Amino acid sequence: MKKSDEKVLCEAIQAVEGEIRWHEPLSLHTTLKIGGPADVLVIPKDLEALARLVRQARKAPGRPVPLFVMGGSNLLVRDGGMRGIVVKLSRLQRITDLDETRIEAEGGVPLSRLARHALERGLSGLEFALGIPGTVGGAVVMNAGTREGEMSGVLIGARILEPNGEVRTLGREDMEFGYRWSRLPPGVIVGARLKLHQAGRADIRRRMAGFIDQRKATQPLTLPNAGSIFKNPDGTFAAKLVETVGMKGHRIGDAQVSERHANFIVNLGRATAKDVLKLIRLIGKRVEKETGITLELEIRIVGRDR
């Protein structure tokens, strides 16, 4: 990194309370355990610190400093890492009970923790979320979910930190969702408001246990992975297509198409982003050649090559 670039980064993070880690390997912060270093990783102490960081990064001399908010799941960081500032919201952990059926959670709350909180209150609607890695903010952005449900089904509002550092409240009418995507105003999702419904704790717990048992039986939960690699095309499943073209279990380096679920790529120990990308491209080419279907990525790929 050039000294001039380092100086600009220092000015952008000046007086921001929280953790500051220079040249932090992002492999320590992704569920796939892959990723080169960030120029600087910042974990703001609270919303005020995050707002300060956003304002200072935007007003950096010359041009705004690149700022990327990461959750770690459904993400592949290239081996060369990421320039600028990488932000984690892991200290934004507050959950607030608004009334009998509505909950508000800050963007850094783990989705599984929120699901357990709902269980404790006897609220149904988040059973699908138990076991999904990632945070509330990331779950809103990608409309995380399973066949049993998704975030857009329970979301009634959100709070977004705009590029000018101001917090704006979004209503459901301000957001648009589809299968594993959203259309939101520019900014960082720092909170979500959910509408659930009352149910017996025993029934909720039974549904959660069923979902977890199913995941354990069908997904490679014991190995580092980024979740589903491809979106399911209309009328079929990506895993079925990958298996049909003989790619299940295929390996490049230490990146392997899971033998348990063909829409997962697992890290057997020392996989690189380059290995994973080669595997993704090979799968895509084979599926398109043999079935005529073009697979669309569900994971997000960021950063630069080494």
The string of DSSP letters for 48-113 reads: HHHHHHHHHHHT-SSSPPPEEE--SSSEEE-TT-EEEEEE--TT---EEE-SSSEEEEETTSBHHH
CA dist 174 and 161 (Å) reads 14
SS3 content of the chain, % helix, strand, coil (to 5): 30, 25, 40
Q: Specify whether 228 is catalytic.
A: yes
N-term to C-term CA, the chain: 14
The string of DSSP letters for 108-173 reads: TSBHHHHHHHHHHTTEES-GGGTT--SBHHHHHHHT-EETTEEGGGTEEEEEEE-TTS-EEEEEGG
- The active-site residue, picked from 73, 90, 228, 258, is 228
Yes or no: say if 93 and 44 are a contact pair by the CB < 8 Å rule. Answer: no
Question: Six-digit token pair at 237?
Answer: 């499943």
Q: Specify whether 73 is catalytic.
A: no
- The active-site residue, picked from 52, 78, 91, 180, is 180
Q: Give the residue from 96, 103, 126 showing the smallest Cα distance to 193.
A: 103
CA dist 18 and 152 (Å) reads 31
Q: Specify whether 152 is catalytic.
A: no
Q: Could you tell me which residues are beta bridge partners of residue 97?
A: 103
Give the residue numbers annotated as catalytic, written as ranges.
180, 228, 298
